[in-house]
Amino acid sequence: MQNDSAVYIKAVGDLCPGDFSVDGFGVGSLTKRKGCDYPFKSLDGALDGADILIANLEGVLSARCHNEYLSFGGLPEMAAALRAAGFGIITLANNHAFEHGAEVLEETIYYCKKAGLKICGLRDQGQYYCEPVVIEKKGVSLGILAYNWVGLWDQVEIDKYLATISDGLVNYTWDRDREKDRLARQLIQEKNEYVIQDVKRLKNEVDGVILLPHWGYEWTPYPPYGVTLEARSFIDAGVDLIIGSHPHVAQGIEVYRDKIIAYSLGNFLFDPEPEKKFHGMVFECVMEKDRIVKYNYFAIASDDRCQPERPGAAEQKKFKQKIELSASAIISASAEIELDDDLIYKEFEKSYNRRKVKKIKYLFVAMLKHPSMIKSVFRKVINLLELIFRRLQGQRVRW
């Protein structure tokens, strides 16, 4: 896919540097024992050759992780390991970067910058809402913006540090109202004001604009209809390439006005449990100025070894069939009905609850093999009891 006169871009999905399922048995714990370069040893060239390699860093990096457990928290050394693996750009515009507050976020930013990583999704202190990252390669200037739409209800100060959007088309709250969803779609020009303004401003300063949105509902193979409308409105405003994250599963790719919308690349590096294996996407394309010459994608797989690798032809074929099925639904004439926001949200809730049940079963079985997990499981039981108590008080919180 190389072209000497164009920029070769590769991107992966969500990359969690810490333990997600249970403390002691995840990416963070493995890197403590085997080194932060361990997760990248089975890639076999899957990420090689790119002028720009992008990832969503779904978590934090902190020196505290040497001695204590931080959910989604990885070691500071992970920043240098990412750079050594070829990554040049990360986005922190997601719902876990601020999970442990401003101090840990600032620590994460420090280690990433020290390693030479460029960070997208930070709040700008000047004319932009999101501080743009501008890259010049082979005579082509690319401006990159990143925003987060999800998980804002319990992180009230997040918008002081990260580019977060609360006036989008999609309802991410517990309170479901299909009529409000439909009314919001009629206000598409008024919604996402900060994003649209940033895109139009940046478009005048660079050849091409790349948008990295953290959006949609988790564990669903289709984006909600509101997200598809948002994506096209961003293209209309001047975006040339959209690479989405958050759903944790890969979704369809749409070609709109000769621009590319990759709605979700799924997971790249995450604890697989309660699943035994997951598939994410590596997206690649060639850009000339504001024109995408060609694009491609392939599956990346990971299991409990937490070492992403490129699977064989049979798995690639199955993966491509799923992506094409999703892509067909996105551009279908009945997409407004099939991808109804409330319908997709209900699918998310079902998937979320199924995974929780599977996770509980996994933890109890795993305890028999690993008695050291008892402490972590006990902590999760306490958290569950606290959640039940909060629900009895009328608070809307997930288990």
Average pLDDT over residues 276-294: 93
Q: Which amino acid is at 180?
A: K
> In this structure, is residue 376 part of a structural domain?
no
87-145 residue pLDDT tens: 999 999 999 999 999 999 999 999 999 999 999 999 999 999 999 999 999 999 999 99
| Local confidence band at 82 (pLDDT 50, 70, 90 cut-offs) | very high
Nearest to 398 by CA among 104, 159, 151: 151
- pLDDT at res. 360: 72
Most confident by average pLDDT, 188-202, 265-279, 371-385: 188-202
Helix (H, G, I), strand (E, B) or coil at 78: helix
- pLDDT at res. 304: 84
Whether residue 373 has pLDDT greater than 90: no
| Local confidence band at 369 (pLDDT 50, 70, 90 cut-offs) | low
Contact 125, 163 (CB under 8 A): no
Nearest to 59 by CA among 85, 46, 33, 78: 78
Contact 180, 170 (CB under 8 A): no
> In this structure, is residue 15 part of a structural domain?
yes
201-255 residue pLDDT tens: 999 999 999 999 999 999 999 999 999 999 999 999 999 999 999 999 999 999 9
> In this structure, is residue 239 part of a structural domain?
yes
Whether residue 305 has pLDDT greater than 70: yes
Q: What is the CATH number of the domain that holds 282?
A: 3.60.21.10
375-395 residue pLDDT tens: 666 666 776 677 677 667 766
Average pLDDT over residues 320-325: 98
Does the CA dihedral 377-380-385-388 come out positive or negative?
negative
For the chain, the average pLDDT equals 92
What is the residue range of 155's domain?
7-351
> In this structure, is residue 156 part of a structural domain?
yes
Element (H, E) at 14: strand 7-15
Nearest to 76 by CA among 90, 60, 87: 60
| Local confidence band at 154 (pLDDT 50, 70, 90 cut-offs) | confident
The rounded distance, in Å, linking the Cα atoms of 126 and 363 is 48
Whether residue 8 has pLDDT greater than 60: yes
Whether residue 53 has pLDDT greater than 90: yes
Which residue bears the tokens 């209309």?
Answer: 236
> In this structure, is residue 86 part of a structural domain?
yes
| Local confidence band at 318 (pLDDT 50, 70, 90 cut-offs) | very high
> In this structure, is residue 340 part of a structural domain?
yes
Whether residue 192 has pLDDT greater than 80: yes
- pLDDT at res. 309: 97
Residue 396 has which token pair? 């809307």
| Concatenated DSSP letters of 146-175 | EEE-SS-TT-TTGGGTB-B-SSSSS--SS-
> In this structure, is residue 286 part of a structural domain?
yes
Average pLDDT over residues 14-35: 89
Helix (H, G, I), strand (E, B) or coil at 267: strand
Domain total in the chain? 1
Task: Write the DSSP symbol of residue 74.
Answer: E
> In this structure, is residue 60 part of a structural domain?
yes
